[in-house]
Structure 1
């Protein structure tokens, strides 16, 4: 069961390479900058994985290999954080699938390991993939690849569908630090979000593959003005909205239900009042009713 840390800032996209190569330095950087909830992201390019179709012969056992890897082991991270006295840190597993067609995505969604991830993000590459995400696919985060310029034509209708279906759109500043071209592409994407959706449901993540690319959350908030967000939207992008992503992800994984909560004290008082009103009405009827005349014998 996911637990939301009510303190500190959120970074829902730190690449697994950060924790594989520089675990201690990454934890020290995140904690010193004020991040308290971190998602370890595993990015899989579906189109780059060749499909191996092997005919099963009669009598052979069915292959149990899973197309998705196991989630990143968080135990070493938690042990190192405990050794550093970082008890308030919360770690999550995130899966991000980059795809161009819904046909290639089906087997990954039916994978046994798919349900083991806490968060699920998607990166559509084609118009068909984007339409599928907006209309049918259940996910938590929509992101775009900043290595190439976005050639997909966004529409206000598609953006509204994403917001209505509790999607959050992600802007990753880490790759933009590496290259000026990626920086231009990121600014272009953020301005499209502002044009078609008024920058609703936008979250900031580092997307960092190296700990030196992680930035202070207050600097990230300042970047929001460059990306077309106002002050409140910039603050929510690293605090309230990432927390909402985690809550929505819990509902997606475990199912949604409706609960009705009532105050029992109020109900008891109302019932007492109703009884007293009925009794008073009976008494009034008894007093107002004329006496019956005695019949002559």
Structure 2
């Protein structure tokens, strides 16, 4: 059975609405969701990166996923809307508070930098309006080689016919450039009615130019790769921690600190 994920559920200060979003996602069969904190800095005014709300404070206990015997997994995600290169700070300590890190570039130069340089997990594509640049194969292939993914969100297309046309047209252009590889489909939901089930999203993927298999991967295995990439990024290119099992060892051995072994580069 596939494990479905929605890695973009918009954060809202309304706690009850956010709880309803998580409950609806679990009812639809999503095993993992990510609460997305959107940060849009400006050049003139210094702004603080928002701090994520602890999941235990938001909802406890978490709802059980439909068709499974385990509760839904909830992650925190930060998306930085970039209109200037200074908006992304590679060494910012605040980024470490989040499980996933995404950027949404608004110019071709920033899109190229996000694909080739920035240490992030997701590159968001604003598909609800005419893009100010075209997708070029070189930076897109560079991002794929680095393990990054491109995100297309569908909720705006449900609410408005004009945005629907832009969403389909921009998504098709992206799929033609990346050949359907390294793409995730997410909701960017603001309320429970914006959410759709995994198989409905798969059908949307067909409209965007994905094959049936690629559309299914866009809400399952590719999303899982994003989560694993984020864990690797946060542990300095994949530090492996090994812990001695206590089952066959005396207690003194179990108290030893875990050994570390760096993955060969």
Bucket of the pairwise TM-score, normalised by the shorter protein: 0.7 to 0.9
Helix, strand or coil at the partner of 1:199: coil
Q: 1:97 aligns with which of 60, 80, 89?
A: 80
- The alpha-carbon deviation at position 237 of structure 1 amounts to 0.7
Q: 2:138 aligns with which of 157, 169, 178?
A: 157
Which residue number corresponds to residue 108 of structure 2? 127
CA–CA distance in structure 2, aligned partners of residues 188 and 83 of structure 1: 37
- 8 Å CA contact 1:19–1:26 kept in 2: the answer is no
Question: Per residue, is there more strand in 1 or in 2?
Answer: 2
Q: TM-score if structure 1 supplies the norm length?
A: 0.74
Measured against aligned partners, the alpha-carbon deviations of 1:96-143 in whole angstroms (never above 9, x if no partner) come to 00012212323xx43322111110111000112112112211111111
**Does the C-alpha gap of structure 1 residues 215 and 21 become closer, same or farther in structure 2, counting only changes over 3 Å?**
same
- 8 Å CA contact 1:44–1:96 kept in 2: the answer is yes
Structure 2 residue 238 is matched with structure 1 residue 243: no
- The alpha-carbon deviation at position 174 of structure 1 amounts to 0.9
Which residue number corresponds to residue 189 of structure 2? 208
Which residue number corresponds to residue 15 of structure 2? 20
Which residue number corresponds to residue 40 of structure 2? 45
CA–CA distance in structure 2, aligned partners of residues 84 and 162 of structure 1: 32
CA–CA distance in structure 2, aligned partners of residues 184 and 99 of structure 1: 24
CA–CA distance in structure 1, aligned partners of residues 65 and 213 of structure 2: 33
Q: TM-score if structure 2 supplies the norm length?
A: 0.82
CA–CA distance in structure 1, aligned partners of residues 168 and 77 of structure 2: 25
Measured against aligned partners, the alpha-carbon deviations of 1:172-228 in whole angstroms (never above 9, x if no partner) come to 011111111221121122111222121111111000111110001111011111010
Work out the number of aligned pairs and report it: 238
Which residue number corresponds to residue 91 of structure 2? 110
Instruction: Structure 1 unaligned segments of length 5 or more: list them.
Output: 1-5, 53-65, 260-297
**Does the C-alpha gap of structure 1 residues 83 and 219 become closer, same or farther in structure 2, counting only changes over 3 Å?**
closer
Which residue number corresponds to residue 88 of structure 1? 71
Instruction: Structure 2 unaligned segments of length 5 or more: list them.
Output: 241-265
Question: Per residue, is there more helix in 1 or in 2?
Answer: 1
**Does the C-alpha gap of structure 1 residues 210 and 116 become closer, same or farther in structure 2, counting only changes over 3 Å?**
same
